[in-house]
Homo-oligomer: A and B are copies of this chain.
Amino acid sequence: MILRLAIIGFGNVGQEFARLILAKRDWLMKQKGLDIEVLAISTRSKGSLLSKRAIDLQRALDELADKGHLRGYGPEVTDKGPLEIIDNCDADLMIELTTLNAEDGQPATDHILNALQAGMDVVTANKGPIAYAYDKLRSVARSRNVHLRFEGTVMDGTPIFSMVERTLPGCQVTGIRGILNSTSNFVLTEMSKGMSMEFAVKEAQARGFAEADPSMDIDGWDAAVKITALANVLMAAKATPKLVRREGIGSVTSKDLEDAAAQGKKLKLVASAEKDGDSVSLRVAKELIDPSGPFWSVEGTSSAVTIRTDMMGDLSIIETDPTVTQTAYAVFSDILLVVEAIRAGTL
């Protein structure tokens, strides 16, 4: 089986994913009978490629590393934008990896809609569309008989969505709590060791997981988008991030962390979703965590989620010190699950 991809968005995650499929090429062929070809790569400002034949991924990676752009790649270079690339590409599956727009999930939502409507399966690590337009995207995917997977949107490749969907049949999720934003958790961890917030943020930027403008993380926006995505998918919340009661960690002082420690506790930014009658109440808030709960050991860039269920009680899953490799794996594993579903003829 040959699976042809269009990769829309080719930053750190996209490039790591490309390296991953290069490294796993033999394994994919031998173990899964699967040959993955990339027919399009779209970047915002570094040039884009569109081809009828497989793009040489190694060369594309090398050009980006050497020249900083793809504009010298060859006749495959295109000046088409992402929507045009999707419409003109023969890919079977579109991978959406553009930068999050936390305000409305666009243009990623339109990229996904166009791909689904063109009959492509879609895998994304972009949480905006799942937080803003999950019900619509799911209904279009079902009506076109194609697959939509998005494990990488929350906690990288940690299987949260897949775990509920594929291993907990018949279980209803009645609540979710999580430490979902690496930067704010890292900043709180470093501050509790005596570092200033300013310095901790700079350190997070230096290590590459905080943006130049860290306000999305510090203000709780990133966590709000993630808990909305979780609640939309796992609790049918029909929410958007704007409905989340949200506070950030911007006002946290060293004194606050010392006070927490004096009580034998830690201050953490916790995102939560709870059933509230027929609706779901969403919140991102500072909480005092005590050592008896599963979040106690979740420090630095680690993250965790507790899913409350009717039949299995509380299940917690912790991801320790993730890197971009884990997000690339999320895309890789989603693709394998799509291929498995195609072969089984299931949606």
Contacts and interface: CB of A to CB of B under 8 A. Distances in A.
Interface of A: 24, 27, 31-32, 157-159, 162-163, 166-171, 291-294, 296-297, 299, 311-323, 325-326, 329, 332-333, 336-337, 340, 344-346
For this chain, the copies found in one complex come to 2
27 contacts: A24-B170, A158-B312, A158-B315, A159-B167, A166-B166, A166-B167, A168-B333, A169-B337, A291-B291, A291-B297, A293-B297, A311-B325, A312-B319, A312-B329, A313-B319, A313-B320, A313-B321, A313-B323, A313-B325, A314-B321, A315-B317, A315-B318, A315-B319, A316-B318, A317-B317, A318-B318, A344-B344
Contacts of A167: 159, 162-163, 166-167, 333, 337
Contact of A27 (B170, B313, B315, B322): B170
A339 to B, nearest CB: 9
Given A169-B333, A316-B316, A344-B346, 20 more contacts: A27-B170, A32-B170, A158-B312, A158-B315, A159-B163, A163-B163, A163-B167, A168-B333, A169-B336, A169-B340, A170-B336, A294-B318, A294-B320, A311-B329, A312-B319, A313-B321, A313-B322, A315-B318, A344-B344, A344-B345
A336 B326 CA distance: 30
Contacts of A158: 312, 315
Nearest to A339: B169
Which of A159, A299, A319, A323 lies at the interface centre, i.e. has the most chain B CB atoms within 10 A of its CB?
A159
